[in-house]
Amino acid sequence: MGKIKLNVLGISYSQTQSGAYALVLSEEEGNRRIPIIVGGFEAQAIAIELEGLTPPRPLTHDLFKNFSDTYGIRILEVNIHKLEDGVFFANIICDNGDRQMTLDARTSDAIALALRFKCPIYTTDEIVEKAGIVLDFEKGSGLEQEEVGEEPAPEAKPQKSKKRSIIPDLSESSMEDLRALLADAVSKEDYERASEIRDEINRRSK
């Protein structure tokens, strides 16, 4: 069974589930993408690491990283090894200096940790063949074509209306104001708003 390396391409609002997000993985040597539905908390944990944001207090995945560093435990790689009934299954390969261990994990948690440990993410040929799609990001996210489900968060509040109300305010702010708003959002642990502000900064920097 072939092993395919994946990169985290980004996160967007889910087109099919309110209050959920689509985490997009891309094969390193190819043009197929794997969208995975994740809940708001998991999306937040992944997004703040992708954006290089530093929370004032450690989130759960940051605490895990600090704990592992303290006791000399490394994550060597993450493997997404099974797709069953629309749900992805992953495991984490760890090493404590004496032996390697394999831990079962939710895919979103495994990816959040992979980003923090800067370790590779792999999957199989079979999963990419089954779940991989080709997205045209120049014409939009393309996620409306198909989304594979995992860990939906029906209890989360829909976020689309909130996003529309925030963006107009940001569009009228100066870059200096945006940086101040970003720092304020991080200090208040409002990572969703911080992500919105960072997106606006990135759009203007292009």
Asked if residue 187 has pLDDT above 60, the reply is yes
Residue for token pair 């940001």? 170
Q: What does the pLDDT read at residue 154?
A: 37
Model pLDDT for residues 40-74, shown as the tens digit of each residue: 888 889 988 988 888 888 989 999 999 999 999 99
Are 164 and 203 contained in the same domain? Answer: yes
Model pLDDT for residues 139-181, shown as the tens digit of each residue: 444 444 445 555 544 333 334 333 333 344 677 788 888 777 7
pTM more than 0.75: no
Are 169 and 144 contained in the same domain? Answer: no
For 30, the domain range is 3-156
Are 96 and 146 contained in the same domain? Answer: yes
Nearest residue to 43 via CA among 25, 22, 28: 22
Return the structure tokens found at 22: 């689509």
Residue for token pair 């929370």? 55
- CA of 123: how far to CAs of 30, 153, 192, in Å? 13, 24, 29
Question: Using CA atoms, how far apart are residues 191 and 123, in angstroms rounded to an integer?
Answer: 29
Question: Using CA atoms, how far apart are residues 35 and 11, in angstroms rounded to an integer?
Answer: 9
Tally the domains of the chain: 2
Mean pLDDT score, 7-31: 84
**How many CA within 13 A on the CB side of residue 172?**
4
Do residues 36 and 159 make contact, with C-beta atoms less than 8 angstroms apart? no
CATH number for the domain harbouring residue 126: 3.10.690.10
